[in-house]
Structure 1
Amino acid sequence: MPIRPPNPSPLLNANKYSRLFLQWVYPLVSKCRKQGTLDVNDLYELLPDYDAEALTDKLEANWFAETKRNPNKPSLIRATLCTLRWKPFLIGLILIPSEFLDIIRPLLLTFLMKFFEPCSTMSAWHAWLLALSTIFTAFCSSAIVIYGIYLNNNLALQMRVAYSGLIFRKLLRLSSHAFNSISSGEITNLLSNDATQIEMTLLFFNYLWQVSLIAISYTLVILVIQIIFSRFILHFRNNILQVTDQRVKIMSEIIKSMRIIKMYCWEMAFDKKIRHVRRREIIQYMYCLLFDCVQMLFSHTYINVTFLMMYGTMWWLNIRFDIRFFAVASCLLSHMRLIVIDFFNFAVKALVHYMAAQKRIQTFLLLDESERDNRLLSRSHSELGYIENNESSIVKNNPIQSPKVICNLKQAQWEKNGSFCLKNIVFDAHPGDLICIIGPVGAGKSSLLQTLTGEIAIFDGKVRMHGSFCYVSQESWIFSSTIKTNILFGKAYDRNLFHKVVKATALDTDFTQLPNEENTLVGDQGVMLSGGQKSRINMARALYRNADIYLLDDPLSAVDAKVAKHLFQKSIKNYLADKICILVTHQIQFLQDATKIIVLNNGEMIQIGSYTDLLASSTSFARLLDDIHQFEQQQSIELYQQQSIISSTCSNDDEEMLALLKNVETKHKGTVKSHVYVAYLKAGVGIIMGLFIVIILPSVREGTSIFSNWWLAKWSDDESYRYRILNNCTTVQNNNNNTVWSMSNTEWNNHRNRRFYIYCGLYSINDHIL
């Protein structure tokens, strides 16, 4: 991956005019128009206002303060409001002038229309003044709305980032019991779905209180209906999230266990299970969408119902009106529908979804955390890989100490009164020490490292760690990106350090076999790596951190003997020579180089000392070495078989592997092809019914809507024409050939009745189609 060139945002040096009218973004828009597409390098650098660490720190501090004020019932909403303060309301105040301008503009337009009427006495300069005022109010309203939306989007994005960071930090602090109670699918759902609801809520938040400034009686009825239906939507939304979590959890388990499912031919059973859960999810979606559609019905029929009530009343009471009345009513009602009904509807739905989401996030934030009060861990110069003690005052008051590990462990368990327990483990480590932990399978070797990292709770005893540490897990973790990005893991690129780490982990040999070397894409959409390659990338990531303490959970088990020797000599012995290294291993040939050897059995330390001391002190150590040697031989046979399978698979799929090695992402440009839409229609209700619903019904509805508005305009013309005839406007009498002026009162009433009845029919057709 090439280093991204610096591209600072022009907003940092933009003046007030450029900020108000968003002129600073025009170069990016112009570049997109010329190139057709934008690349990642074309985007500006992140502004300081969007720094994830600072935003998360602010929200996390307010959340911790809330949990202290209300330990029994803390509220994430209150913590969010403390973080936001008055920012959303200030943005709402900025938007209020645009609402008044939108109301004034139709009134100016009606005065301007009077200039074009027959018998008008308005002067030309007066008409020009009204026209310019109408244009000016439209321009000012648009500028205010666009800038307000821009500020609102910024605030919403900042809170979404803060929520995501808060969830991530909580995930790192979860206790083992709490961590096992949730699935990766639930975490994904919290980040991808629930955390985005705060963004949608803030986008429409101000319309919740601005509506009261321009509400009317029918609008209040609609608002009550919207709130009632929102409670039903909230109920179904909670059901959807629960079923979605269950479906994502099952899918994650299926993907992880695909090899076992294929081996035992369980495809049909799991297919049936996932279809059942998906069917339940779709049913809940259907209920939610049903109430959502009924809720939208009141929104879309708002103007028609209001027009029907208004013109029906005027028709019944024989009240005259003209085209100016129709224009004002249309503009004001359209604006009220947009603000009072549509945006308020969006705001209520976003608030309902947020209430459900924040409840789930709050439940997650209240899960048990790992107890680290009995660990004294000081911050080192490393950016990551350390844990701060909850009693931070103790750490800050202590002078900077050299890295060391002091373990006096009497009892540590995953759960209180659990079946497995670590006990009576006492040792200390200093820079330059290499401590090897050995023992039979299930002796608690990996559990000891997890106790040092804080994953396992200590119920008796104390562990003190001074310095930053890196933990290399037994199961290698690779994410979808380049090998270089996997090793750097967010740290700045140092060419000399990077190549030194690559050489120490024997990855330089692998790079020569890849066309893009360290820039080769790996992961789900990249090259398939062997277990040994993943293990070495995992090891290289740890070495690049340059921590003080290294906890290595058997990183040599996934590689062959030759590579294992290279890793031990170059990485552990040489590269980590001045570090504290605690190594879990089954490779007995490396025990002679260890400073200390800890022998575990059933979670208890039975021996500790150097290789020669343990070998001379008892015969049990020799027997244990024989058992470990047999286990290592069996593991080597399994590793060889896996490598044979991988090599044979690769030889049979050379073309596919070469295609992956090219590592080129394809991008489709232009419009969406018609076959994509056809596929959607086929998967839904079929092509014929789909075309009828998607094309014919909306066309008929828009046609009847346009025709009904035209019909009202004609009716208004007739009212205006007859009104001016009765007031003896000679210009109208001479220039209009219409026979409305010659109608008797009875004929005129029949004419008005026909206009009203036809309008009612058009309204009925339009609403039935909707």
Structure 2
Amino acid sequence: MLSSNQPKYSTFGGAASTVHPREAASWFSQVFLTWCTPLVHLQHALNIEDIWQLEAANTAESNTKRFLTAFGRSKSVFRACANVYGAWFAVAGVLGLVLRLLELVGPIVLQKIVGATNDRASSHLYYWLAVLLVSKVARAILWSHMVMLEDILGIQYVHIHPFLGRISCVCRFVGGLKGALFQRLVSKASVQPGEVPDLANVYSADMDNLLWASISFNNLWIMPTQILVISYLLYQELGVAAFAGLGMLVLSLCLGAFISTIQSKAFDRVSTARDDRMQAVKETFGSILIVKLHAWEQKYLSDFALEMGHVWTLMFSGAISIFVLWASPLFVSMTSFAMYTMVLGQPLTASKVFTALALFRLLQNPMSEIPDNITAVVEANVSLDRIQEYLDQADQPARPAPAVTPESEDTVIAIENGTFTWGDDGGAPILKNVSLTVSRGDLVVVHGKVGSGKSSLCMAILGEMHQTEGTTGVYGSTAYCSQEPWIQQMSVRDNILFGSPFDSRKYTRVVEACGLLPDFGLMAFGDLTEVGSKGRNLSGGQKARISLARACYSDADIVILDAPLAAIDAVVQKQIMTKCVETLLKARTVILVTHNGDIISSPNVNRLVRLEDGSTEHSHVKPSEPVVAAKVADVVVKIPCVVAKPVMDNRSMPSPLWSPRTMEAGDKWNEHFDHAISETVGEEERAVGRVGLDVYASYIAAFGGWRTIGLLFVFQTATQVLQVGSDVWLGVWTSSDDAVVQTKWYLGIYTSLCLGMMVAVLCRTILVAVSGVRASRVMFGKMMSALISTPMSFFDDTPLGRVVNRFAEDMSLIDIWLPFSYAGVAGWFFSVASSLLTAMFVVTTDTVVRWCGLLFLPMIYVYIRVAQLYLRPSRELTRLWNVTNSPVLSFLDEIEHGPSIHLCWCGGIVHFTQTWT
């Protein structure tokens, strides 16, 4: 029934410290990033053991402390992030600006090369080719270091870099913010549901929005700088005609800003609707047994209406924004060329046209990325407000230092004329004029009618209520067992130990006193049996006794038991009272809430406290006469739970925990269960290797099927054909002898090609938005239907966090990011393919450099090989991130439903923060 294996309470303790390869790398390895090669070249699928431990500066613990210190001074999330990470963000911004400016070397060199080609006697051709090569290599190195810096800061997504610490997303920025969110979770005062954002959304989707916005924030000043420099270079080439194009540019930016306001409002509504959706998801699957017992599956399915209206507004405005700012460079080029030729009457030359086209292409990148960056910042602003709202919640009222020294050295609890309320908003008092003095070693029984304030008195002693009058002193550490059990999804033993060191003798005495040994004999793996989410595999009495055992196993001086025996039958109740409360806890102070008349009249009770309407009607030592049955309140059929609280005063008093009685059973361990830890609840399964074609096929089907993909192919092909056609037409125009005479003809054809390209782009973006909303609705509906129809055995073995993770972060990606990500990848593929085919056509048709076309073959192979080396670890890291994020969400859900438990546990908050953030 009991195993000798050490507990595996994963919430506590940290991994062994190892040296990160970057810390021991040479300067050459630092510059060219070769220190990450062993990880990239692993021949097997990455496991968590393969990932390097984080450097000390990147751990969540250190960054949480830094962020909370800054937040404590400024009370602003934005200012705190700026104070802690602002300097590093500035460094990343400078690197980004240098990278953007290095892109301008290409058009400048192109102009020089075209000039040198026309001048056959020029000897500078190879010089400019060397400059171009050096600039590209320097840019590649700088870009890699900028991305690495952004990853370390936690700016970029986990998909970007495969070789930074444990998981790149858990770095400084996100580590500090998530640590702060957890600290707020375990220290905030109680609030009603809906008063604050849903933590699962804040912890996943909102945090991702902030990560994206961090890099976008730098781009919002880098890209305009790049646009200004490009505009100056265009002025150098086209003169005042460039100002006509700049006018179109300003008009496009104004239109984009207007669209961004629509996106901001839509995203705000999407976030609110997503909170409601997540709350409903957690309520449904948290009580899935009740849903199934009442056959409510179809009813709940009909109640889950995805926030599609708001998502559609957001997606459609995003599509229009992408179209406007993607097409703006085309308007700029058309306007500039028209002004240059029709108004100024200047002829277009090959040097000017292709240099201007290269600049227009560079202008297209920042212009097309600005809407994404604006959207990211807009969404992050909403997410920042939600995080600020969560962090601004009132703290749990701290226990003030006792105003006076207790009358006796044996006093451990002293309340004098105390009045307590829930919250500090001046609400009606729950407890009034409470006076209570408890001595060390006392067994105090609290009783009274239902609603008289018994549980509130326990909360007042624990310091979780706001005291408006009187004085309160608690001298020692506390453990708490609440009416409603708080059970985590782990083994029975881990629930009892709750992070405390395992002592076999002490552990055996506790479980025997709490009547758990017979239950262990009925469990599959004894005390190593997994109890399921919120203890759903246990009966009410078992959960109550496990909670009681947790409080008893702690080393707290004061044990507060809020009706722990209510869900236990009379026989077991009497045994627990005798063996546990009156014997095991005899050396400690016990506050026991009960309605049991036998316990109230027990001669072992040192003090009786009777509450009436929130006041201590009677509080006396050892009643001189038996308690009248009428004064014993009705039994409350509720269940208990467990906790322990940090020392509230530095006068912590050591005392013996156990009676001299010993048990030999603690020395006899059944080794039959040594393997049980690995067989209770397995790790979350994750795919290995390439993403299966069935995954793509399922999303394509939800996206609209192959007909929609065919339409996208047509629109994308038309875009690329018209773009190449416009470039070719400009070449014909500049080489024509009658270009000046036929300006209107050439300009009209060029304008028609550009307008056709814009129509194709508009159709593509709108089709992506419509199909993306459809795919989101279909995927959510299928997942919801599949899960709600799954047998209960699945939920017995699956933590709630795994389900929540699918509906939180994964659905957030499917809702908004995935459709445009697919379209973006397709756009880049077509762009690269068209450029490559055009270059190969030009090279192979030239008799002088025809054989140079063979160089494309090794170049294509190298690119494919590099892509394979990158995709494999990146894909596995993404999967590892999703798998490791699920237990975090499960844990957060458990913490949200057990605030009194974890607040009372001495040192628990520190351990939680070190590991889970």
Residue 27 (structure 1) aligns with: 38
Cα distance in structure 2, aligned partners of 1:411 and 1:515: 49
CA shift in 2, pair 1:418/1:246, >3 Å: same
Give the aligned residue type for 1:164: K
Residue 162 (structure 1) aligns with: 176
Residue 646 (structure 1) aligns with: none
TM-score calculated relative to the size of structure 2: 0.64
CA shift in 2, pair 1:242/1:713, >3 Å: closer
Once the two structures are TM-superposed, the CA of residue 445 in structure 1 deviates from its matched residue by 1.5
Cα distance in structure 1, aligned partners of 2:200 and 2:739: 72
Give the aligned residue type for 1:44: W
Residue 591 (structure 2) aligns with: 582
Q: 3-state SS of the aligned residue for 1:206?
A: helix
- Map residues 364-443 of structure 1 onto 2, 5 A cutoff: 364-372=390-398, 375-376=400-401, 404-414=412-422, 421-443=430-452
Give the aligned residue type for 1:598: V
Once the two structures are TM-superposed, the CA of residue 699 in structure 1 deviates from its matched residue by 1.9
Residue 707 (structure 1) aligns with: 721
Decide whether the 8 Å contact of 2:446 with 2:592 is kept in 1: yes
Decide whether the 8 Å contact of 1:198 with 1:354 is kept in 2: yes
CA shift in 2, pair 1:708/1:603, >3 Å: same
**Relative contact order: is structure 1 or structure 2 higher (C-alpha 8 Å, sep ≥ 6)?**
2
Give the aligned residue type for 1:285: V
Cα distance in structure 2, aligned partners of 1:327 and 1:371: 69
CA shift in 2, pair 1:150/1:405, >3 Å: same
Give the aligned residue type for 2:201: N
CA shift in 2, pair 1:161/1:133, >3 Å: closer
CA shift in 2, pair 1:208/1:577, >3 Å: farther
CA shift in 2, pair 1:180/1:635, >3 Å: closer
Once the two structures are TM-superposed, the CA of residue 526 in structure 1 deviates from its matched residue by 8.8
Q: 3-state SS of the aligned residue for 1:13?
A: coil
Cα distance in structure 2, aligned partners of 1:255 and 1:94: 47
Cα distance in structure 2, aligned partners of 1:257 and 1:63: 37
CA shift in 2, pair 1:744/1:303, >3 Å: closer
CA shift in 2, pair 1:299/1:511, >3 Å: farther
1:237 corresponds to which of 263, 267, 275: 267
Q: 3-state SS of the aligned residue for 1:49?
A: helix
Q: Which moved more, 1:459-468 or 1:301-310?
A: 301-310
Give the aligned residue type for 2:364: R
| Greater Rg by CA | 1
Q: Does 1:227 align with 2:257?
A: yes
Once the two structures are TM-superposed, the CA of residue 233 in structure 1 deviates from its matched residue by 1.5
Q: Does 1:48 align with 2:56?
A: yes
Decide whether the 8 Å contact of 1:532 with 1:558 is kept in 2: yes
1:717-765 C-alpha deviation (Å, 9 max, x unpaired)? 5467x4xxxxxxxxxxxxxxxxx7xx77799869846863663465255
Q: Does 1:6 align with 2:16?
A: yes
CA shift in 2, pair 1:516/1:450, >3 Å: same
Q: 3-state SS of the aligned residue for 1:593?
A: coil
Once the two structures are TM-superposed, the CA of residue 586 in structure 1 deviates from its matched residue by 3.7
Give the aligned residue type for 1:348: I
CA shift in 2, pair 1:306/1:81, >3 Å: same
Residue 191 (structure 1) aligns with: 203
Q: 3-state SS of the aligned residue for 2:217?
A: coil
Cα distance in structure 2, aligned partners of 1:765 and 1:572: 79
- Map residues 106-121 of structure 1 onto 2, 5 A cutoff: 106-108=107-109, 111=112, 119=120, 121=122
Residue 763 (structure 2) aligns with: 769
Residue 692 (structure 1) aligns with: 707
Percent of aligned pairs sharing the same letter? 21
1:321 corresponds to which of 346, 349, 373: 349
1:336 corresponds to which of 363, 386, 400: 363
Give the aligned residue type for 1:45: Q
Q: Does 1:202 align with 2:203?
A: no
Q: Which moved more, 1:666-675 or 1:415-424?
A: 415-424
Residue 382 (structure 1) aligns with: none
CA shift in 2, pair 1:683/1:343, >3 Å: closer
CA shift in 2, pair 1:412/1:754, >3 Å: closer
Residue 728 (structure 1) aligns with: none
Cα distance in structure 2, aligned partners of 1:319 and 1:485: 82
- Map residues 198-597 of structure 1 onto 2, 5 A cutoff: 198-216=210-228, 217=246, 218-251=248-281, 274-275=303-304, 278=305, 281-313=307-339, 316=342, 317=345, 319-322=347-350, 328-338=355-365, 340-372=366-398, 375-376=400-401, 404-414=412-422, 421-489=430-498, 505=514, 507=516, 510-511=519-520, 513-524=522-533, 528-561=537-570, 563-564=572-573, 567-568=576-577, 571-573=580-582, 575-590=584-599, 591-597=602-608
Structure 1 portions without partners, runs of 5+: 68-74, 378-393, 637-658, 723-739
Give the aligned residue type for 1:239: R
Cα distance in structure 1, aligned partners of 2:510 and 2:107: 70
Give the aligned residue type for 1:243: A
Q: 3-state SS of the aligned residue for 1:470?
A: strand
Cα distance in structure 1, aligned partners of 2:497 and 2:638: 31
Decide whether the 8 Å contact of 2:416 with 2:470 is kept in 1: yes
Cα distance in structure 2, aligned partners of 1:419 and 1:97: 62
Cα distance in structure 1, aligned partners of 2:750 and 2:201: 53
User: What is the aligned-residue RMSD (CA, Å)?
Assistant: 4.3
Once the two structures are TM-superposed, the CA of residue 449 in structure 1 deviates from its matched residue by 0.3
Aligned residues: 677
Give the aligned residue type for 2:221: W
Decide whether the 8 Å contact of 2:739 with 2:746 is kept in 1: no
CA shift in 2, pair 1:496/1:667, >3 Å: farther
Q: Which moved more, 1:483-492 or 1:188-197?
A: 483-492
Residue 750 (structure 2) aligns with: 756
Residue 817 (structure 2) aligns with: none
Residue 153 (structure 1) aligns with: 154
CA shift in 2, pair 1:78/1:552, >3 Å: same
- Map residues 678-689 of structure 1 onto 2, 5 A cutoff: 679-680=698-699, 683=702, 686-687=704-705
Q: Which moved more, 1:128-137 or 1:486-495?
A: 486-495
Structure 2 portions without partners, runs of 5+: 1-6, 157-168, 229-245, 640-677, 765-917
1:367-420 C-alpha deviation (Å, 9 max, x unpaired)? 4555446x327xxxxxxxxxxxxxxxx99x99xx99822122443233788677
Q: 3-state SS of the aligned residue for 2:317?
A: helix
1:586-620 C-alpha deviation (Å, 9 max, x unpaired)? 4455544333332333333233345xx31x33653
Residue 734 (structure 1) aligns with: none
Cα distance in structure 2, aligned partners of 1:21 and 1:745: 50
Give the aligned residue type for 1:319: P
Decide whether the 8 Å contact of 1:409 with 1:460 is kept in 2: yes
Cα distance in structure 2, aligned partners of 1:494 and 1:302: 71
Residue 616 (structure 2) aligns with: 605
Q: 3-state SS of the aligned residue for 2:63?
A: helix
Residue 844 (structure 2) aligns with: none
Once the two structures are TM-superposed, the CA of residue 511 in structure 1 deviates from its matched residue by 4.7
Q: 3-state SS of the aligned residue for 1:214?
A: helix
Give the aligned residue type for 2:326: H
Give the aligned residue type for 1:444: G
Cα distance in structure 1, aligned partners of 2:571 and 2:31: 65
- Map residues 133-148 of structure 1 onto 2, 5 A cutoff: 133-148=134-149
Cα distance in structure 1, aligned partners of 2:209 and 2:460: 37
Once the two structures are TM-superposed, the CA of residue 427 in structure 1 deviates from its matched residue by 2.6
Decide whether the 8 Å contact of 1:406 with 1:427 is kept in 2: yes
1:239-269 C-alpha deviation (Å, 9 max, x unpaired)? 2233333444455555667777778887777
